[in-house]
C-alpha cells in the first residue's frame, strides 16, 4: 500500500551587498530516525489538516527560521511529486509513500540567527551551495528555482538515495 503526503518547501534568500545573494538551508542533524539526516534541504514541512499550502509554508518558516512572512511576501514556484519513497523498505516502520511538495521562494532584508529543533540553519553564497550533500533531485530543481522566477513541475522516482527516473517541466 502506498500513502500520499502533502508538504511545502521554501528557499529563503538574502541579498548581501558585499557578497551577492545568499540562500538559507537547513542541515538536518538533530532528530533520531530522520529521513533527511545528514542532508541540506530547504525549509518546510507537512501540511496539516485544514491548512492550505500557503498557510503551511508561512507557519513552517516561522517555526523553523523565526522569519514572519505574509502571503504577499511568498512566491509560489510550482511543485514536485516524489514517487514511492521507501518502496524498498529502507525505513522498515513506515510504508511506501508519495509526496506532493509545493515549492516557494521568499526574500529577507536581514539575516538573523535562530535555533531550529531539526538541524542547523546556514547561509550559503549562491556559488557555494553544498549540492553534493543534498538529495539528488534537489540538485536538479534548486538551481532552477534560485535562478528564475518561472513555475516548475517535476516528478522524481528514487531507489534509496538514487534517482531512477525523473521529469522536469518549466513554464
Local structure of 56: helix, strand or coil: helix
Alpha-carbon distance of 4 to 99, in angstroms, equals: 6
Class of domain 3-170: alpha beta
For the segment 32-45, what is each residue's pLDDT rounded down to a tens digit? 665 665 689 899 99
> Per residue of the chain (171 residues), what is the pLDDT tens digit?
556 789 999 999 998 887 789 999 998 766 666 566 568 989 999 999 999 999 999 999 999 999 999 999 999 999 998 876 555 545 445 445 688 899 999 999 999 888 887 789 999 999 999 999 998 888 888 999 999 999 999 888 877 777 777 887 765
Alpha-carbon distance of 61 to 10, in angstroms, equals: 8
Of residues 76, 79, 89, the one with CA closest to residue 137? 79
**Would you list the domain boundaries of the chain?**
3-170
Of residues 13, 2, 9, the one with CA closest to residue 106? 13
DSSP letters, 123-151, are EEEGGG--GGGS-HHHHHHHHHHHH----
Which percentage of the chain shows pLDDT scores above 90? 51
Alpha-carbon distance of 152 to 171, in angstroms, equals: 6
Task: Please count the CA atoms within 13 angstroms of the CA of 63 that sit on its side-chain side.
Answer: 13
Alpha-carbon distance of 100 to 154, in angstroms, equals: 10
Amino acid at each position: 500500500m502506498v500513502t500520499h503526503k502533502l508538504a511545502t518547501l521554501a528557499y529563503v534568500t538574502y541579498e548581501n551587498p558585499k557578497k551577492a545573494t545568499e540562500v538559507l538551508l537547513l542541515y538536518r542533524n538533530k532528530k533520531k530516525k530522520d529521513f533527511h539526516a545528514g542532508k541540506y534541504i530547504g525549509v518546510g514541512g507537512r501540511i496539516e489538516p485544514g491548512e492550505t499550502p500557503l498557510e503551511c509554508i508561512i507557519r513552517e518558516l516561522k517555526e523553523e527560521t523565526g522569519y514572519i512572512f505574509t502571503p504577499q511576501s511568498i512566491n509560489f514556484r510550482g511543485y514536485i511529486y516524489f514517487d514511492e519513497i521507501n518502496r524498498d523498505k529502507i525505513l522498515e516502520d513506515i510504508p511506501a509513500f508519495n509526496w506532493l511538495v509545493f515549492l516557494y521562494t521568499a526574500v529577507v532584508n536581514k539575516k538573523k540567527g535562530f535555533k531550529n529543533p531539526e538541524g542547523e540553519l546556514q547561509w550559503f553564497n549562491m556559488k557555494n551551495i553544498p549540492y553534493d550533500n543534498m538529495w539528488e533531485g534537489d540538485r536538479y530543481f534548486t538551481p532552477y528555482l534560485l535562478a528564475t522566477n518561472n513555475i516548475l513541475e517535476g516528478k522524481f522516482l528514487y531507489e534509496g538515495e538514487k534517482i531512477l527516473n525523473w521529469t522536469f517541466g518549466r513554464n
